Structure 1
C-alpha cells in the first residue's frame, strides 16, 4: 500500500500520521475505492484539506493523474484552495515531472484556476514551471491564462531570473518573446545576466546579450560587477562570449568591489588557470579598457603562487554565492 508513494514519505508511520481524508487516500493509491463512485455518493468532502492544507485535487495535480484531475473537476473541486504555504493545485501541476503536466495545467485553467496566484513566497505557478523544466509549452498556457512574466517573488527575482539561473534556454526565449524585462535585478542586485554568467550557462548568456541585457559597471551586492563575477567563476567559453560582444568599454576593469578588489585582482587568485583561459580574460579586460594594454602584474604574479592564498571562497564574493546557491531552488 505504501510502496507507490514511498518516495514522498519517509516511512509508513509518518504516512499514517498525516491522517489523509478518504479522497486523498484514493488519489494517492492508499486504498482501492473508486474515485468517481465515491463522488457519486457524496461530494461534501471534495475540497477537504489534509494536515498540510492540501486537497485531493492538489495531490492529483502533483501526480499529473489527468483522469483523477478531470474527475474531481467534473464533480466541482475548487482548483484555487491554497495549502498552508499558499500552493494551489496549479502550483503543484507546474512542478510535476510528468510528460502530461501540460494537459493537467490546461484542465485546471479551463476550470477556473488562477494563473497569477501567488503563494507565501510571492511565487506564481509560472516561476515553478520556469525553474523545474525547460518546457515553454507549459509557460505559454500560464501566460495566456494571465500569468505576469515580470512579477517578482519574495527575493524580487522574476521568472526570467530563474530561467537564467537554471539555464532553461527555451523558457528564457519564450519569456523574452512575451516582453519579460531582462534587466530587472533581484533583492541582491543580480540581473538574469549575472545569473547566467555566474552559472556559466553559455547559451542563456548569448540569448540575454542578444536581447539587450545591460552590460554596465553597476555594482550588485558586495560591490560585485559583471567583471568581478567573471573573474571569480567564469569559464573559458563564458569569457569568450563576453569578449566577443561588441563594445565593452561600459565595463570598468578598475572598478573595485567592497573589499577593494578589481576583477583583475580576483582573477589573479584563481587556481590552476590554463594559459588559454588567462589570455581570454586579458582580452576581455583589454576590450573593457578600450584597447590592448600590457599588464606587468600577470608577469609578476604566477597563478601557482597566487593559488596558495586563494581557496576559491573569494572575500567579497561570499554574499553573492549565498544568494545564488542558498536561494537557488524554489519550493
Structure 2
C-alpha cells in the first residue's frame, strides 16, 4: 500500500490570504457611513461583501445600529432592504428598536416596527423598548411601541 505524502513546500489553500490589505474593508468607515447616512458608500461596500451587514464593533453594534444612532432613516431602510437583521442584539442586549426608543426617535421606531422589529426583546437589564418609550415625554412614542394606532390616554371614569 502506497502512503500519500504531503508537500509542505508550496502554499496550501489555508495559507492563502483572502485579499491584500488594500482590498480589506475598514469597518470604522462602514460604521461612520451608516451614522452619517452615506448610502452610496454603504451600498458599494455591502454589494462587494454582504457579510458586512452583520459585522459588529467592539460593543456589538451593527451598521444598522449605527444608522439608528445617527437617526438616518433612509440608511436604516436601505440596510433593511439589503438584508440586515433587524433584531440583532448588541453587547448590552439592545436591539435597533431599543436604541431608537432610547433616543426618542419616533420616525426610527415606526420604520423599525413596520419592518418587523420585535418589541418584546429585553436588554441584559430586562428592559424592553417600551420602558425607554415611557420615559419619553412624546406620548406618541408610547403608542407606537405598544402597538396602538393612537394614544387614548388614561381612562378616568
- Bin the TM-score by the shorter chain: 0.7 to 0.9
Give the TM-score normalised by the residue count of structure 2. 0.74
State how far apart, in whole Å, the 1-side matches of 2:28 and 2:82 are. 15
> Equivalent residue of 1:173, what SS?
helix
2:53 equivalent among 115, 118, 122: 115
Match of 1:184 in 2: 121
Are 2:94 and 1:152 aligned?
A: no
State the shift of 1:241 in Å. 5.5
Change (3 A) 1:91 1:206: same
Are 2:67 and 1:129 aligned?
A: yes
Greater RCO, 1 or 2 (C-alpha within 8 Å, sep 6+): 2
> Equivalent residue of 1:115, what SS?
helix
> Equivalent residue of 1:243, what SS?
coil
Equivalent residues of 1:196, 1:205 under 8 A apart: yes
**Aligned-pair Cα RMSD in Å:** 2.4
Are 2:140 and 1:206 aligned?
A: no
State how far apart, in whole Å, the 2-side matches of 1:126 and 1:165 are. 15
State how far apart, in whole Å, the 1-side matches of 2:97 and 2:24 are. 29
Structure number with larger C-alpha Rg: 1
1:95 equivalent among 22, 35, 41: 35
State how far apart, in whole Å, the 2-side matches of 1:110 and 1:147 are. 13
Equivalent residues of 2:35, 2:68 under 8 A apart: no
State how far apart, in whole Å, the 2-side matches of 1:127 and 1:138 are. 10
2:154 equivalent among 243, 247, 256: 243
State how far apart, in whole Å, the 1-side matches of 2:135 and 2:153 are. 13
Give the TM-score normalised by the residue count of structure 1. 0.37
State how far apart, in whole Å, the 2-side matches of 1:191 and 1:241 are. 21
State how far apart, in whole Å, the 1-side matches of 2:65 and 2:57 are. 11
Match of 1:38 in 2: none
Change (3 A) 1:131 1:203: farther
Change (3 A) 1:201 1:155: farther
Point out where structure 2 has 5 or more consecutive residues left out of the alignment. Answer: 1-19
- Any idea what the Cα deviations from partners look like across 1:176-229, whole Å, max 9, x if unmatched? 1221111111111111111011132322212112259xxxxxxxxxxxxxxxxx
Are 2:115 and 1:172 aligned?
A: no
2:133 equivalent among 170, 192, 196: 196
State how far apart, in whole Å, the 1-side matches of 2:139 and 2:39 are. 28
State how far apart, in whole Å, the 1-side matches of 2:24 and 2:68 are. 24
How many residues of Structure 1 are paired with residues of Structure 2 in the alignment? 136
Match of 2:17 in 1: none
State the shift of 1:242 in Å. 4.7
Change (3 A) 1:187 1:46: closer
Match of 2:43 in 1: 106
Are 2:24 and 1:78 aligned?
A: yes
